[in-house]
Amino acid sequence: MTKGKITKLSVSDVRFPTSLEQHGSDAMHTDPDYSVVYVVIETDGGLKGYGITFTIGRGTEIVVCAVEALSALVIGKSLEDIVSDFRSFYRLLTSDGQMRWIGPEKGVIQLATAAILNAIWDMWARAEGKPLWKLLVDMEPRQLIRCIDFRYLSDALTEQEALEILEKAKEGKQQREEQMLKEGYPAYTTSCAWLGYSDEQLTELCSAALAEGWTKFKVKVGADLQDDIRRCSLIRKMIGPEKTLMIDANQRWDVAEAITWVTKLAEFRPLWIEEPTCPDDILGHAAISKALAPLGIGVATGEQCHNRVMFKQFLQASALQFVQIDSCRVGSVNENLATILMAAKFKVPVCPHAGGVGLCELVHHLSIFDYISVSASLDNRMCEYVDHLHEHFKSPTLIRNAHYMPPKDPGYSTEMFEESVKKHQFPDGEVWKSILEKK
């Protein structure tokens, strides 16, 4: 594999003005400009890797600084040095004796870690000539385990248990891979019902989605109860009693408020309420889960769950019924592998968070791996889909019949078109120059 040492890491602040049309809006984030911190790493032997982390506009420049601060830990290493002992490299990035103080393993520094490690995984998959999901699927359990930092996890999941889960799932792997290649991984859509959309827009988008074959829909709630009742009733009527509805409050409520509010929306039979309260409030989520269980409503969370230790506690406390991993929030594939394995042990389905810009491109690799190599089940499992900004990626997602089709191109689907990056660079790209001039 030796193709030189990493000699170059470049990082850009790339923003898309989605707030102009209220795409992505929710009860807490009313004007998101979907953005990425885009990292490109290169070796002197000609290997390249592309990585992103997701942000929503202002503040992206801070993550860029954090990537720059971490870059010294990457420069000079070869891909082989890194992946032959990936666990140690993960530790190096997340446990630097001085920089860990500004985390540890949370917030801006963790987003930066995600961007860099996503680029490394992309480089590895490209070097092997495989899409990332296939790289993972073809790895022996022991090799997968060596990518995971088990520090702080052993009270919930030991290495031995993780190995046993992976060994057990070897049975039927081949058939599941064939099934994925034929049918794809089930997806749901959030594109119809952002909070800032009018009822007309909602109706139009929902009927288009139904015509395209979507069967599972997520609606933003949490700002105004009467609005929520009206919007949920509209969608439930359009999709009929059989199809699936989920609701997402993006952390808007206190615990008691969440319970009363969601109880009032129970007649629309949501499968889950997502992020009902503060994403760090594990016991709060446990209380909400307990109160809503009799109504048949689960709690989903994870898009702002900053590391594997948080997921561990959510699982230990029965505080969530759907684990929403995110490919850009935590320490990349390494940390998501840990969470996927813990979810398998606790028998909780993984339903990744996606959307934003690039999140769909990345995370469906992990869903496909989860099904083939870990969970072996599609029960109550689906990966989020949002129909924005795919045109900026060289290997965009492919949806067929509301399923994600497995990517074929080598890598982690992270590479963007140079032209897109250039145009949307903040604040000097032509898109932003013209917006900022008008302001």
Q: Single out the segment in contact with ligand LFC by CB under 6 A; choices: 197-205, 253-261, 349-357, 372-380.
A: 349-357
325, 336 Cβ separation under 8 angstroms: yes
Distance CA 416, CA 397 (A): 13
361 binds ligand LFC (CB under 6 A): no
387 binds ligand LFC (CB under 6 A): no
Site for Mg ion in 250-309 (CB under 5 A): 274
221, 265 Cβ separation under 8 angstroms: yes
75, 134 Cβ separation under 8 angstroms: no
- Name the token pair of 287: 């209380």
Q: What residues contact 388, with CB distance under 8 A and at least 6 apart?
A: 18, 23, 24, 34, 191, 355, 357
335 binds ligand LFC (CB under 6 A): no
User: Could you tell me the maximum CA-CA distance found in the chain, to the nearest angstrom?
Assistant: 61
- Name the token pair of 79: 């891909």
Q: Residue by residue, what is the 3-state secondary structure of 180-244? A: HHHHCEEEEECCCCCCCCCHHHHHHHHHHHHHHCCCEEEEECCCCHHHHHHHHHHHHHHHCCCCE
Instruction: Tell me how far CA of residue 96 lies from CA of 30, 161, 231, in angstroms.
Output: 36, 28, 48
Structure letter (DSSP) for residue 144? H
Alpha helices (H) in 320-358, listed in sequence order:
332-345
Applying CB under 6 A, among 17, 24, 184, 429 the residue interacting with ligand LFC is 24
Applying CB under 6 A, among 3, 5, 29, 264 the residue interacting with ligand LFC is 29
Name the residue nearer to ligand LFC (CB basis): 251 or 373: 251
Q: Which does 24 bind (CB under 5 to 8 A by kind): ligand LFC, Mg ion, none?
A: ligand LFC
228 binds ligand LFC (CB under 6 A): no
Site for ligand LFC in 148-207 (CB under 6 A): 190
Q: What residues contact 182, with CB distance under 8 A and at least 6 apart?
A: none
Size of residue set near ligand LFC by CB under 6 A: 13
271 binds ligand LFC (CB under 6 A): no
Taking phi over 0 as left and psi of -120 to 50 as alpha, with beta for the rest, 34 belongs to beta
Neighbours of 346 (CB within 10 A): 17
Name the residue nearer to ligand LFC (CB basis): 16 or 38: 16
Structure letter (DSSP) for residue 165? H
Applying CB under 6 A, among 55, 250, 307, 413 the residue interacting with ligand LFC is 250
Could you give the string, one character per residue 54-73, with x where binding to ligand LFC holds by CB under 6 A and - elsewhere? Answer: --x-----------------
Q: Which does 29 bind (CB under 5 to 8 A by kind): Mg ion, ligand LFC, none?
A: ligand LFC
Bridge partner residues of 39 (DSSP): 11, 51
Nearest residue to ligand LFC, by Cβ distance, number only: 24
Name the residue nearer to Mg ion (CB basis): 324 or 332: 324
Catalytic residue among 134, 216, 312, 353: 353
116, 74 Cβ separation under 8 angstroms: yes
Q: What residues contact 430, with CB distance under 8 A and at least 6 apart?
A: 422, 423
Catalytic residue among 220, 285, 306, 424: 220
For the CB of residue 48, give the shortest distance to ligand LFC in the complex, in Å. 28
For the CB of residue 23, give the shortest distance to ligand LFC in the complex, in Å. 8
Applying CB under 6 A, among 103, 355, 358, 411 the residue interacting with ligand LFC is 355
33 binds Mg ion (CB under 5 A): no
Applying CB under 6 A, among 96, 303, 387, 415 the residue interacting with ligand LFC is 303
Q: Single out the segment in contact with ligand LFC by CB under 6 A; choices: 23-31, 65-73, 98-106, 209-217.
A: 23-31
Please indicate whether residue 408 is annotated as part of the active site: no
Name the residue nearer to Mg ion (CB basis): 248 or 415: 248
Classified as helix, coil or strand, 139 is coil
Q: Single out the segment in contact with ligand LFC by CB under 6 A; choices: 4-12, 22-30, 154-162, 333-341.
A: 22-30
Name the residue nearer to ligand LFC (CB basis): 33 or 335: 33
Applying CB under 5 A, among 248, 361, 370, 387 the residue interacting with Mg ion is 248
Distance CA 251, CA 286 (A): 15
Please indicate whether residue 168 is annotated as part of the active site: no
248 binds ligand LFC (CB under 6 A): yes
Query: Interface residues with Mg ion (CB under 5 A)?
Result: 248, 274
Query: Interface residues with ligand LFC (CB under 6 A)?
Result: 24, 26, 29, 32, 56, 190, 248, 250, 303, 353, 355-356, 384
Residues labelled as active-site residues? 220, 353
